[in-house]
Structure 1
Amino acid sequence: MNHAQDDLLLVSLIKQGDSRGLDSLFRKYYNSLCRFATYLSNRSDLAEEIVADVFFRIWEKRDTLTVEKNVRSYLFTATRHTCINYMKQEKRIMEDLSEDLIEVNAGPEDELMYRELESRVSDMVDHLPLKRKAIFQLNRFEGFSYNEIAEILSLSAKTVENQMGKAIKQLKLLQKTYRL
C-alpha cells in the first residue's frame, strides 16, 4: 500500500469512530502541519493550536467527513483555512480592544503598540482555563454559536453561555492587570 492509500484507510477508521485512526494521522502529519501553520501565521504557539483545532474538527465532523483522494492535501488546505480564520478573528478582537488606542492613520510607533497589544491579548486568552478557553475560541475565533459549541463539546447551551460570561469577566480583569 502507498502513503495515499494508507491515509485513506486512516480516514475510513476515523469515519467509523476509531480514534486510533485519528491518532495515527495526527502523529504522521502534526509536525509538518505545524511548520506550515507557523509559516502562515508567523507564530509557533498559534500554529500548534491551529493544527490541534484541525484534528479536533476532523474528529467532531467524522460522520460527514468527505476525503476522497489526497488526505495530505486535505489536511494542508484545512490548516490554511483554519489559520486564515484564526488570524481574521484575532484581528477583529485586536481591533475591538484597541480601537481607542490606535488612530486611523497609525504611524510606526502605533504599529508597534498594536503588535504589543495583540501579544498581550493573546497572553490573556492563554490564561483562561482550558475548557473556558476552548469555548471562548470556538465562539470568538471560529464563529460558532453557543448551541453549536454545546453540541461539539457535549455541554448544555446554558453552560456554554455561563462559561462565555465568565471568560469575558476574566478577560476584563486581566485587561486591568495588563493595563490595556
Structure 2
Amino acid sequence: MITRQNDLFLISLIKKGDKRALDCLFKKYYNSLCKFAYYLTSRNDLSEEIVADVFLRIWEKREKISVEKNLKSYLFMATRHTAINYMKQEKLIMEDLSDDIVEENPGPEDVFLYQELESRLTNLINFLPQKRKAIFQLNRFEGFTYNEIAEILSLSSKTVENQMGKAIKQLKLLQKTYQI
C-alpha cells in the first residue's frame, strides 16, 4: 500500500515537471521492466531501448498521464505495448529490406563477383574424386535427394550421405588451404 502511495506521489510530482521524481521512478522500475522487455523480445539492446522509450513518453505526456490505482501495472502494460510496436516496426523494416534485396537487379559488379565465385567453386569441386564430385553436383546443383542419387548411381543412401559429408569437409579444407 505504501509503495502504491509513493508511486502515485511520484506521478503527481512528474505531472508538475519534477525531473528528480522521474529519475526516482526510473531507478525503481528500470531493471524489472528491462527483464520483462527482454522476456518479450529476447534482445538486451532492444529491451533497454524500449524501457527508455516508455519513460521518455511518460515525461513527454506527463500532463495527460492518468494513473489512479497501480503504477506498476501501468508501466508493465506500457512496456508491453511499446515492445509490440517495436517488433512490428522491426518486422516491417526487415520486409522492406528483403523486398529491396529481391527486387534489386544485379549490376555489372555483382555479375562479375558472382562469376568469380562460381569459377572458384568449380575449381574446388574439380579437386574432388569423381564419384564424390558427381554426388555433390547432383545434390547441390541438380537438387536431387540422397535417396534419388543413390538410385541413379546404384549406391546405398548411407554411402551417398557419407560421400556428401566428405565432399563438404574436403571443399572446406581445400578452400582454406588454397584460399580459393
What is the TM-score when the length of structure 1 is the normalising length? Answer: 0.55
Counterpart Cα distance in 1 of 2:101 and 2:93 = 13
| Correspondence 1:77 to 2:82 | no
Instruction: Please tell me the root mean square deviation across aligned C-alpha atoms, in Å.
Output: 1.5
**Aligned residue identity for 2:13:** L
Q: Deviations over 1:113-136 (max 9, x none)?
A: xxxxxxxxxxxxxxxxxxxxxxxx
Structure 1 CA distance, aligned partners of 2:45 and 2:7?
27
Question: Aligned partner of 2:42: which letter?
Answer: N
Superposition map of 1:111-150 within 5 A: none
Cα distance in 2 between the residues matched to 1:100 and 1:73: 41
1:97 to 2:97 alignment? yes
The number of equivalent residue pairs is 103
Q: Distance in 2 between matches of 1:39 and 1:53?
A: 17
Residue 64 of structure 1 corresponds to which residue in structure 2?
Answer: 64
CA offset at residue 37 of structure 1?
Answer: 0.2
Output the amino acid matched with 1:55.
F
Contiguous gaps of at least 5 residues in structure 2:
103-180
- 2:35 alignment counterpart: 35
Rounded Cα–Cα distance in structure 2 between residues aligned with 1:40 and 1:101: 28
Aligned letter for 2:2? N
Percent identity reads 71
Alpha-carbon separation, structure 2, partners of 1:12 and 1:21: 9
Which residue of 2 is the match for residue 18 of structure 1?
18
Question: 1:151-175: per-residue Cα shift (whole Å, max 9, x none)?
Answer: xxxxxxxxxxxxxxxxxxxxxxxxx
Shift of 1:99: 1.7
Could you tell me which amino acid in structure 2 is paired with residue 40 of structure 1?
L
Give the deviation of 1:101 after TM superposition: 4.5
- The residue aligned with 1:7 is 7
- Aligned equivalents of 1:72, 1:25: Cα separation in 2: 10
**Any unmatched runs of 5+ in structure 1?**
103-180
Question: What letter corresponds to residue 97 of structure 1 in structure 2?
Answer: L
Aligned partner of 1:12: which letter?
A: S
2:67 match: secondary structure: coil
Tell me the SS of whatever aligns to 1:66.
coil
Amino acid at match of 1:23: D
**One-letter identity of the residue aligned with 1:36:** F
Q: Output the CA distance in 1 between the equivalents of 2:10 and 2:63.
A: 14
Cα distance, 1:100 vs structure 2: 4.7
SS of residue in 2 equivalent to 1:17: coil
**Residues 46-100 of structure 1: per-residue CA shift (max 9 Å, x gap):** 0000000000000000011111110000000000000000000010011001125
Q: Which has the larger radius of gyration?
A: 2
